[in-house]
Amino acid sequence: MNVLILGAAGQVGRAVAAARPKVHQCIALDHSELDITDAQAVMAAMQRHRVDWVVNCAAYTAVDLAESEPALAQAINADAVGHIAASAQSTGARLLHLSTDFVFDGRSSVAYLPDSEVNPISVYGKTKLAGERHVLALADGIVLRTSWVYAAYGRNFVLTMLKLMRERAEVRVVSDQRGSPTWAGGLAQAIWAMMDKAPAGGVYHWCDEGTISWHQFAVAIHEEANELGLLRRRIPIWPIATADYPTRAARPAFSALDTRSTCKAAGVPAIGWRKQLRRMLIELQASGMIDGLRA
């Protein structure tokens, strides 16, 4: 296959490019190389590269900032996806688009299925849902929702926690929001498996196995990082309520995703979140980038 990766500088884009099986080719473009809000530029790129698949990892992900920049979030998360979908249809490429658990309102008590009712409660979630609809208008477009994504690079919860744990005598983390972490490396493997299997168009879910709170995730990060020697000391990790940590954007209190249909379609199992966390921390340790998280 010949695959075009959009948003190649982000966590997932980098992971997808790095996970490329040797039998396939890929072109990885970041924002500096292709502005996805420019419909003509998107069409020109698609015509030039003549790819079998497009993986759209590009997104406006500043959840709180989106509340004051709704037009920009709409342009990137929705309108630009329309450009990509139209270009994919015109050139005969299939489109796999990354979306989010934030399309749900969090009122469920069981993991959301791909066909569960959507009801986003933030600008970010609403614009991502609008983008999904452009993809699903294609006969074979794939929307792959994921949640709580992290990697050994970029901006994410794990790296933020490691920095705070090196700097502070204690850390407080929300304990009444529950979901499933997703290591970008594992997500990338699932994406390549999806393209290899080429399932029918529609909505799919991918995250690591298990449902936890942000506080439980922070405690695990602290424990695993200390075991690996990435932290020099142990500190208290205190649970707090969402009300004690107000944010501009509302967040779903529960956003676990049911991945069973994706596991079947891709032919790969979901792996436990803690095992994936340790893999990421080992990768971070090997890279030496932990030194940039100075106390």
Catalytic positions: 124
The DSSP annotation for 183-213 comes to EHHHHHHHHHHHHHH---SEEEE---B--EE
In 3-state terms the chain splits into helix, strand, coil percentages (rounded to 5) of 45, 15, 40
Location of structure tokens 């072109």: 27
- CA dist 186 and 277 (Å) reads 10
Report yes or no: 12 and 149 within 8 Å, Cβ to Cβ. Answer: yes
98 vs 93: CA distance, rounded Å: 16
Is beta strand 212-213 parallel, antiparallel or unpaired with respect to 178-179? Answer: antiparallel
Radius of gyration of the chain (CA): 19
